């Protein structure tokens, strides 16, 4: 094999190294990051937490009273509240948080699934907002029961605006509900798989591995070497 033929084989090796380095950053398939079931409590622990994150309990605001039953179910919703801001001021909210715990992880949120129910006098409207690291909140889901009192599944709610999360980043979700007609009216979290499911509220996303500096260097060297060889080949062929 002469020198020119040897050179021609080098780009394939360098390209392979570059692709291998780039592959280290590829995302895994979409996965469940946090999932809550339901229970008759004011502070509901998550049923599933991905190792790349930590998650808080799902908690109810001080303006609410725990209703009886087997679900995360509350009464005492302020009957004068007619907006998210009113409900927030009355502390008629549910909140939950999670943080990226893996220093090598890049987390992109994808979807939220939740099942909610109300009694005939419970809040008819609700909204879920999210904020990253205590910043401005983003509206995630707005719901209107239109007077109905049957549980509703909200599936595949888009969370793609909550992307690029790295170690130490945190997200807080706030659900506020309003337009109740009686303090006895209730609003609760049910499971999509009933009975016995753990899928009352599920957040899914993609977790990628942030490459080590040595991997990034390998990728850069591979591409740089490939470009150099291509230029050398072009000069030899002239």
Residue 9 has pLDDT above 50, yes or no: no
The H or E element containing residue 132 is strand 125-132
Interhelix angle 3-23/213-237, rounded to 10 degrees, is 150
Residue 202 has pLDDT above 70, yes or no: yes
What is the value of pTM for the model shown?
0.80
Tokens of 211: 């490459």
User: So what's the pLDDT on residue 195?
Assistant: 79
Average pLDDT of the residues in 16-44: 74
User: So what's the pLDDT on residue 231?
Assistant: 60
Q: Give the percent of the chain with pLDDT over 90.
A: 74
Average pLDDT of the residues in 132-159: 98
At residue 66, the 3 state secondary structure works out as strand
Give me the residues paired with residue 66 across strands: 74
Residue 32: band (very low, low, confident or very high) from pLDDT cuts 50, 70, 90: very high
Q: Give the percent of the chain with pLDDT over 70.
A: 77
Q: Quick one: which of 192, 45, 178, 170 has its CA closest to 109?
A: 170
Q: What is the mean pLDDT of the chain?
A: 87
Residue 87 main-chain phi, psi, to 5 deg: -65, -40
Q: Quick one: which of 153, 150, 152, 145 has its CA closest to 181?
A: 145
């Amino acid at each position: 094999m002469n020198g020119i033929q040897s050179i021609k084989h080098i780009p394939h090796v360098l390209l392979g190294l570059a692709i291998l380095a780039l592959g280290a950053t590829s995302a895994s398939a979409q996965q469940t990051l946090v999932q809550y079931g339901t229970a008759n409590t004011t502070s509901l622990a998550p049923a599933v937490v991905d190792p790349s994150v930590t998650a808080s309990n799902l908690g109810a605001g001080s303006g609410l009273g725990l209703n009886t039953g087997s679900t995360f179910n509350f009464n005492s919703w302020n009957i004068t509240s007619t907006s998210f801001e009113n409900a927030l001021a009355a502390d008629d909210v549910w909140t939950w948080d999670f943080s990226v715990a893996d220093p090598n992880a890049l987390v992109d949120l994808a979807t939220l699934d939740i099942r909610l129910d109300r009694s005939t006098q419970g809040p008819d409207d609700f909204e879920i907002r999210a904020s990253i690291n205590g910043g401005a909140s983003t509206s995630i889901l707005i719901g209107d029961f239109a007077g109905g009192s049957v549980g509703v599944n909200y599936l595949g709610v888009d969370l793609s605006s909550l992307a690029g999360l790295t170690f130490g980043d945190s997200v807080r979700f706030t659900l506020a509900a309003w337009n109740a007609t009686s303090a006895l009216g209730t609003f609760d979290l049910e499971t999509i798989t009933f009975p016995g499911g753990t899928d009352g509220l599920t957040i899914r996303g993609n977790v990628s591995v942030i490459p080590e500096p040595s991997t990034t260097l390998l990728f850069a060297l591979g591409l740089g070497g490939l470009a150099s060889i291509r230029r050398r080949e072009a000069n030899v062929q002239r």
